[in-house]
Chains A and B, each alone.
Chain A
Amino acid sequence: MSEEVQIDQEVYDRLIAEGKSERIARAKAKAASVRKGKVAAGQELGPKSPEENQQALAAFRERSGGGAATAGAGGGAATATKEVPASRLSPEERAARVSASLGGNGNGGSIGVPASSAHTHRLLALVPPAGIQQVQSKQQDKVYTWPHLLIVEFVALLAMTAVVLVTSFFLDAPLGALANPNLTPNPSKAPWYFLGLQELLRYFHPMVAGVTIPGVGLIVLGAAAYVDKNPSAKPENRKFANMAMTFFLVMWTVFVFAGSFFRGPGFNWVWPWVDGLFFEL
C-alpha cells in the first residue's frame, strides 16, 4: 500500500499542455495510473450496482460462516437488540469485515475504534465542492511585516503624536462662558463637520436638510460598493466613478466652508475678510 503510485506520464503531459496546474495534473495522472492498474487486474471500475452489492454481501456472509454475527461478544449485547435490515451489515459484521481486511492484528483490526464496539463507523466528512475554500494564490511580491511595515507604522505614530502635541501646545481648546439656555449666541453653529448640513438648512426644509440628505447620503455611500460593478481599480478605467465622487466631495467641502466661514449673525452671508470670522472649533 505504501509504495509510491506511479504517474501516468501521458496524462500528465496532456494536462500540463492544457494549462492545468502542476498539482492538479499530478493528482489526475496518479488517479489515471491507478485506474489502469485496476483494469489490467480485471477489476471493475466505478460504483457497484445494488445487485452486485447484495451478492458481495452474501458472499461475505458465506465466507465468514455467519460467525461474524456473534463476533464482538462484549458490545454485541447492547446492539443486538437493534434491527438491522438484511441488506445491510450489522455492526458486528462490519467490525468483523474491517478486522479481516486489516489482517486481524492484535487490537481487533480496527482503526481507532475497538472491533467490539457498537460504534463501528468512523466519521469521514463528505465535503461538497462548494464547502472547500478555493485558494487561488499567485506568487506575490511580499515583504516581512516586521521590520518593514511596523517601522513605517511606528514613524507615522511618532509623527502624528508630534503633530497633536505641538498643536496642543500652541493652540488652546475653546472654553466659552457657562452654558445659558436663555441666551442664544448669534450665530449658533454646529460643529464644523455638520456645518455643511446647517448651510443646507438655508435652502431646504429642515427635514430634507437635516434628515433626508444625510440619511440617504450615508445609505448611498454604503451602497456604492455594490452598485459599482466595474471590476477595474485603475483610474483610467473608472473616470465616471472618480468624477462623481470628486463632485460630491468638492460640493460637500464647499458647503462646509460656506457654513463655517461665510455665515455670520443670523446665519446670514458674510465675507470673512470684511466682517471677520464666526467660527469656533
Chain B
Amino acid sequence: MSRMSDFLSDVKKRREELKAKRPSSFGDVKTSVQDNVIWKSIFRPGSIYRKGYRDTSRDRALAAMNNVLYHLHPVKVKRHGLKLTYTYCLGGLSFFLFILLTITGIFLMFFYRPTAGAGSELAYLDMRNLSASVTFGHLVRNMHRWGAHLMVFTVFLHMARVFYHGAYKPPREFNWVVGVILLTLTLLLSFTGYLLPWDQLAIWAVTVGTEMMGFTPVFGKQVQFVLLGGVEIGPNTLLRWYVLHVLFVPFVTVIFLAVHFWRIRKDGGISGPL
C-alpha cells in the first residue's frame, strides 16, 4: 500500500516539477527545443541554430567548418574576393542556377513522359497539360527554360571574368580546363533539354545541331546514328536525349563541379588581388 502512495506522490511531484518548467515565453520554448540531445546531434558546435552561439572568432570559424554546405568554403577568405567587382558572383550564380534547374527539373519530371510517335504523343501532350492544369506547372516550366538560358549566359560571363583576371594562371591552369569541360557540359545540358517539349521548334533545332555533328570526320554517320538512336530524329531520339538530359549529363556535371570547387580551394582560394 505504501508503495502505491509513494508512487503516486512521486508522480505528483514530477508533475509539479514539469509544470514549473513549462515554457512560458518564446525564449523558453527556444531554449527547450535547442537544449536536447537530438537538436545538438544535428547542429554541430558553431551552428547559429545551436544554443550559445556567440559572435566570436571561434564560433565564426566553426560555423563554416561544421556545416556541410558552408564547408565548401575555407574558414577565411581573402577580403578583396568579397568585392562584388572581383567575381561578380558569376561562378556562384552559375552554380545556383544549376541547383535551381535541378529543383525545377525534378518538378517537371513528375508530369512528363518522354514518349512520341503517331498515336502516343505523350511528351507534347504532357507539356500542354503542364501549362494548362498543373498547379504552378506553367511558372515552373518558364523558370526552367529561362534559368537554362541564363545559366549558359552566366557560365560564359564567368569564363570571361576568369580570363580577364588572369585567374587561370598557375596553379589554376587545370581548373581552367575543368571549366572548359563545364562550359561544354552546360551547353550539352541545355541542348539535350531543348528537344524534350517535342514541338516544331525543338525537333528542328536539334535536327540542325545533329546534322552539323554528322560531319565529324570519319565517324560522322556513326556519331549521328548514336545521337539520334536511328538515321533520323524520332521517338528513340527523344528517349535517348531525355535520359542524357535528366541523368547522364547532370551526373557528369556534378562530378566536374566537385572537382572544380575542390581545386579552387587546393589552388589557394580565389585568385588575386590583381
Contact = CB atoms under 8 A, between A and B. Distances in A.
B215 A191 contact: no
Interface residues of B, number: 88
Nearest to B207: A188
Interface residues of A, number: 73
B169 A210 contact: no
Contacts of A183: 200
Contacts, number: 212
Interface stretch (A22-30, A99-107, A174-182): A174-182
A174 B201 contact: yes
A227 to B, nearest CB: 10
A179 B274 contact: no
A176 B164 contact: no
A257 interface: no
A112 interface: no
Nearest to A245: B163
B137 to A, nearest CB: 11
B60 interface: yes
Contacts of B261: none
Interface in A193-224: 193-194, 197-198, 201, 205-207, 209-211, 218, 221-222, 224
A68 B173 CA distance: 60
Contacts of B207: 188
B198 interface: yes
Contact of A148 (B70, B74, B82, B121): B82
B162 to A, nearest CB: 10
Contact of A173 (B116, B141, B150): B141
A3 interface: no
Nearest to A207: B215
B233 A225 contact: no
Interface string B143-186: 11111011010000000100111111110111011001101100
Contacts of A218: 180, 183-184
A281 B61 contact: no
Given A194-B209, A197-B212, A211-B212, A149 B187 contact: no
Contact of A233 (B167, B213, B215): B167
A122 interface: no
B96 interface: yes
A145 interface: yes
Contacts of A165: 143
A86 B77 CA distance: 60
A1 to B, nearest CB: 36
Given A149-B77, A176-B200, A232 B82 contact: no
A83 interface: no
B99 to A, nearest CB: 9
A169 B143 CA distance: 8
A171 interface: yes
Contact of B142 (A157, A173, A249, A280): A173
B20 interface: no
A152 B212 contact: no
B75 interface: yes
Interface string B70-107: 10011111111110100001001100110010000000
B194 A235 contact: no
B24 interface: no
B216 to A, nearest CB: 5
A92 to B, nearest CB: 48
A144 B121 contact: no
Contacts of A142: 76-79
Contact of B213 (A161, A210, A245): A210
Interface string A145-156: 111111011001
B198 A178 contact: yes
A232 B167 CA distance: 10
Interface in A123-144: 140-144
B146 A185 contact: no
Interface string B201-242: 111110111011101110010000000000011100000000
Contacts of B200: 176-180, 183, 185
Contacts of A193: 152, 187, 190
Contact of B172 (A153, A225, A249): A225
A140 B78 contact: yes
Contacts of A161: 100
B166 A189 contact: no
A18 interface: no
A190 interface: yes
Given A225-B168, A233-B272, A280-B201, 13 more contacts: A141-B78, A142-B79, A149-B81, A164-B146, A171-B146, A176-B199, A176-B201, A179-B200, A189-B204, A189-B205, A194-B187, A211-B215, A225-B172
14 contacts: A141-B79, A157-B96, A175-B199, A177-B200, A181-B203, A193-B190, A194-B212, A198-B208, A207-B215, A207-B220, A211-B212, A224-B176, A233-B165, A233-B274
